[in-house]
Amino acid sequence: MAALINVPSKAKRGDIIEIRTLTSHIMETGFRHTADGKLVPRDIITSFACRYNGTEIFRADLFPAIAANPYLSFFTVAKDSGKFEFEWIGDNGYSTTASASITVE
């Protein structure tokens, strides 16, 4: 499963930067039925976290009301050069990670 991350590669110290993430995931709600009446079991991403040089800067608890292929955008302040690490955890043992680096001048 792929994740798309958009983090500016460069920023000035103190700048507000936007971080955007898009993950490919079905986000099956658990409310739908198949044609023969069986309930389609829930399969969603339940949590997302972002760490900036090891410190957690954003965390999300997600529920079935999140649209398929979850998109998230949030903002932080560029402090130091380093790495953003992203982690998604979901039903049925779903887990994926991604990272992006930033140069702060």
Note the residues at the interface with another protein (CB under 8 A). Answer: 16, 29, 31-33, 46-47, 55-68, 70-77, 79
Residue among 24 and 73 whose Cβ is closer to another protein? 73
Strands 82-90 and 71-77: unpaired
* Of the candidates 28, 43, 22, the residue with the CA atom closest to the CA atom of residue 86: 22
Q: How far is the CB of 70 from another protein (least distance, A)?
A: 7
User: Is the distance from CB of 95 to CB of 88 less than 8 angstroms?
Assistant: yes
Give, rounded to a whole angstrom, the gap between the first and last alpha carbons of the chain.
33
Rounded least distance, CB 66 to another protein, Å? 6
Query: Nearest distance from residue 101's CB to another protein, in Å?
Result: 19
